[in-house]
Structure formats: structure tokens, C-alpha cells
């Protein structure tokens, strides 16, 4: 079974949009709240090199942010990854 992990923040509209897109696909992401734990934010930056959320992984594959997830969906590639 595929695991989707998403670094997120509670006040992030793009995080909400990513969760909605994944929910349409029947997937619930494992969320890592970077606003609740500064160490998780540091971990996210070390892994992705980015400071913005969401940052999304499908299994061990780094997808990127919501725009990247949405692009995969638009290109018809997301379903195969899930």
C-alpha cells in the first residue's frame, strides 16, 4: 500500500488543497505539522531544501508542493503513483 507523507501547517491553504485532491483519490496523507514542532520544520528543510509547505512524498518519492502534485494529477500520472 502506498504511503503519502505531507509536511504541512494548520494555516496553509495549499496544504488544505493537497489534502482535498488526495481525498478525491481515496488517500489520506500522514501529516507532519511543522508549525507544531520546530524540529519537524528543520527536518523538512534538510530533506527538501524548501521552506514552504506542503512538501509531499509518495512512498520514498519526493513530489514537491501542491503545484507539483496538481501537475501530476493534470498529466494523468498521479493515479499510477498512488
| 53-68 pLDDT, tens digit each | 999 999 999 999 999 9
Of 47, 79, 40, the C-alpha closest to 31 is 40
What top-level class would CATH report for the domain 4-81? alpha beta
Q: Tell me the pairing of strands 30-33 and 55-58.
A: unpaired
Segments making up each domain of the chain, as ranges: 4-81
Quote the pLDDT of residue 1: 80
Whether 70 and 25 have beta carbons less than 8 Å apart is answered as: no
| 10-44 pLDDT, tens digit each | 999 999 999 999 999 999 999 999 998 999 999 99
Amino acid at each position: 500500500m502506498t504511503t503519502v507523507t505531507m509536511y504541512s501547517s494548520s494555516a496553509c491553504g495549499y496544504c488544505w488543497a493537497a489534502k482535498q485532491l488526495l481525498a478525491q483519490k481515496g488517500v489520506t496523507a500522514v501529516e507532519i505539522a511543522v508549525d507544531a514542532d520546530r524540529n519537524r520544520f528543520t527536518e523538512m528543510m534538510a530533506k527538501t531544501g524548501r521552506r514552504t509547505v506542503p512538501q509531499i512524498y509518495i512512498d520514498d518519492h519526493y513530489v514537491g508542493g501542491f503545484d507539483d502534485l496538481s501537475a501530476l494529477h493534470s498529466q494523468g500520472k498521479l493515479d499510477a503513483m498512488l
